[in-house]
Structure 1
Amino acid sequence: MLIASLLPLLDRYSLGFDLVAGPDGTVTLTVIPRNAEGKAHSLESGETRPISITAAAAEIDAELAKGADGALGQLITTRKTLADQIAEQRETAEAARVASAEVAKAKAASATTRSSTSASAPTAPAPSALPAEAKSDEPASLW
């Protein structure tokens, strides 16, 4: 039942296990998600946090037998949902970055076209431009 309960995690991660017997008949099962071999995405720190269950062996078996309805199944579903949301946000941010770069490139191209057509026309100094005799380290004078 353990492996069937962990199948949703195995789709995305490689898993490590740690099983420790406690002094009072309890058992601690720790599942450690790792980056799966061949997967291109990097894992967030929340995705790689170990999942620990401490209870009597029969209680752990009963909880795992619940599958997706058990605590481990719900935690796995929640982590998978959050990881999918993170991946979706990354894709959206990348698409926005590419679109922004294309818009900036189009603006630069249109500015270049505009400046080359206006370069042939006589240019008047901008009204806010400093007079030719003004020095950059002195304040401008109105007289």
Structure 2
Amino acid sequence: MLITSLLPLLARYSLGFDLVAGPDETVTLTIIPRKADPKSPALDSGEARPISITASAAEIDAELGRGVEGALGQLIATRKTLADQIAAQRQADEDAKVAAAEAAKAKAAKTTAAKPPAPTIPPKIQTPTRPPADARPEEPATLF
């Protein structure tokens, strides 16, 4: 029943198990989610948190026997929902980045097309070729 309960997690993660015997015939079963694909994004802390059950071996077997209705089954279903939400948010973020980049390209192209070409010939400045009519040769010319 353990593997059947874990199938929803196995679709998305690689799982590690740790079994530890405790006092008074208790057992601690820890299930550790890991990235299944090295190319996939890093797991969020909520996804990577280990699932730990401490009880007697008979109680753990009985809980696992309940399947999807048991605590482990419900926890796994909740984690799967969380992982689906995170994946959807990542995809929405990626789509928004692509849309923003395309909008920026379109705006840049529109701005470039709307600008008039820069003049290549500098404007001519009219400089006087003759001194003013009231200028005297013994005095320097003034701008005031």
- Whether TM exceeds 0.5 here: the answer is yes
Runs of 4+ residues deviating >6 angstroms: none
What amino acid does structure 2 have at the position aligned with 1:13? Y
> How far apart, in 1, do the equivalents of 2:85 and 2:74 lie?
16
Counterpart for residue 28 of structure 2: 28
> How far apart, in 2, do the equivalents of 1:42 and 1:15 lie?
15
Root-mean-square deviation (CA, aligned residues, Å) is: 1.5
Deviation readout 1:59-95 (Å, 9 max, x if unpaired)? 1111101111111111111111011101101111111
Secondary structure in structure 2 of the residue aligned to 1:41: coil
What amino acid does structure 2 have at the position aligned with 1:14? S
> How far apart, in 2, do the equivalents of 1:40 and 1:72 lie?
25
Counterpart for residue 19 of structure 2: 19
Secondary structure in structure 2 of the residue aligned to 1:30: strand
- Percent identity over the alignment? 71
> How far apart, in 2, do the equivalents of 1:7 and 1:14 lie?
11
> How far apart, in 2, do the equivalents of 1:68 and 1:21 lie?
25
Counterpart for residue 91 of structure 2: 91
What amino acid does structure 2 have at the position aligned with 1:58? A
Unaligned runs of 5+ in 1: 121-143
Change (3 A) 1:89 1:49: same
What amino acid does structure 2 have at the position aligned with 1:96? A
TM-score, length of structure 2 as denominator length: 0.77
Deviation for aligned residue 1:42: 2.6
TM-score, length of structure 1 as denominator length: 0.77
What amino acid does structure 2 have at the position aligned with 1:97? K
Secondary structure in structure 2 of the residue aligned to 1:96: helix
Counterpart for residue 103 of structure 1: 103
Counterpart for residue 79 of structure 2: 79
Counterpart for residue 2 of structure 2: 2
What amino acid does structure 1 have at the position aligned with 2:24? D
Asked which structure has the greater CA Rg, the reply is 2
- The yes-or-no answer on 1:63 pairing with 2:63 is yes
Deviation readout 1:27-57 (Å, 9 max, x if unpaired)? 1100111111466333112111110000111
